[in-house]
Amino acid sequence: MTDREFRLVYVPGVTPAKWVSVWAERVPDVPLILVSVAAAEVVKFLHDGCADAGLVRLPVDREGLSVIPLYVETTVVVVPKDHTVAAADEVTVADLADEEVFRPRDDTLEWTALPGLPAFARPDTTEEAIELVAAGAGLLLVPQSLARLYQRKDLTYRPVVETPQSHIALAWPTEATTELVEDFIGIVRGRTVNSSRGRTPAPAPGKAREQPRSPAPGGSDRRGAQTGQGRKGRRPR
């Protein structure tokens, strides 16, 4: 057993399972501990030393953090299954102009203007907003992973074009860039085990580094000079 561990915080909707699986193969002696936290709390967790790294939704306060963008999520609108929007494969912002749209306080999408009409209330969380959508009180725009996370039998969702999108990134305290953090960076970037960008590989056992021969007096290689003389002095048969 080891007293080391790698703690990874992640925001709701993000699924780090594929990276956790690779970690277990490459760093089997160090357990990876997953901690789910609200999007608004993840930076505090990192600065307080409660985690080695985090999967965050941008934007975040980057002061003191190193950040690597990983991927972009589609924005969708969550609606009751019997809503007219559910009949379309995708919708535009204009299609929602007459709809009441919730914007929960934990929303991380960077809106310049929210589509549709303001709903009667602003719920604290996305989960609460989902409940209000199920009650028929309005619609909700969220990253697709959150729509999947809070999926219900009476709700569905459709992609919305021309809207802000959620960017998922890996973040960690810049002053705490450890070897384990470097290992995880390599995994999320898809590097192979033998990648030259990973850790510097240790020398192969049993292969000592050959030392250069000292030149003979006069600046030439004595062995080479003797060999050359021997060849020059031979007579052809």
Domain of residue 141, CATH code: 3.40.190.10
User: Are 148 and 74 contacting, i.e. CB atoms less than 8 angstroms apart?
Assistant: no
Asked which of 164, 180, 196 is the last residue of a domain, the reply is 164
Could you report the per-residue pLDDT of 24-72, keeping only the tens digit for each? 999 999 999 999 999 999 999 999 999 999 999 999 999 999 999 999 9
How many domains does the chain divide into? 2
Phi, psi of 37 (to 5 degrees): -135, 160
Give the pTM.
0.77
- Encoding tokens for residue 106? 């934990």
- Encoding tokens for residue 70? 């990983």
Out of 46-50, 184-188, 214-218, pick the least confident: 214-218
Could you report the per-residue pLDDT of 93-122, keeping only the tens digit for each? 999 999 999 999 999 999 998 899 999 999
- The residue among 92, 79, 128, 124 whose CA lies nearest residue 106 is 124
Do 15 and 130 fall within a single domain?
A: no
Separation CA 68–CA 188 (nearest Å)? 10
